[in-house]
Amino acid sequence: MEGNITLEERLAMFKKQRDNVMKQIAQSQRYLEKLDHKVQYFEAACAQGTETGLEDFCDTLEAASKASQSLNN
C-alpha cells in the first residue's frame, strides 16, 4: 500500500490496529487486577498462616475492583 491513492486505506488500517491494541491493553489490565487480588489474598493468608477467615477479604477486594472500574468508565 503506497502512494497518495491509498492514504485513507492506510489511515483506516492503522486506526483499526490501534483499536485492537487498546482492547488488548484493557484485557491485560483486567488480568493484572485479578492477579493483584490473588497476590493480596495469599499475602494475607501467609501472614496469618491460614486461609481461614479470609472469606470477607475476597468480597472486599471484589467490591474495590468494581468501584475502580466504574470510576474508570
Give the mean pLDDT of 2-17: 93
* pTM, entire model: 0.66
List, for residues 39-71, the tens digit of each pLDDT value: 999 999 999 999 998 888 777 777 777 776 777
CA distance 18 to 49: 46
Q: What average pLDDT does the structure give for the chain?
A: 88
CA distance 53 to 51: 6
Exposure string (b/e) for 1-35, b if CB count within 10 Å is 16 or more?
Answer: eeeeeeeeeeeeeeeeeeeeeeeeeeeeeeeeeee
Give the mean pLDDT of 24-36: 95
> Any idea where the domains of the chain sit in the sequence?
34-73
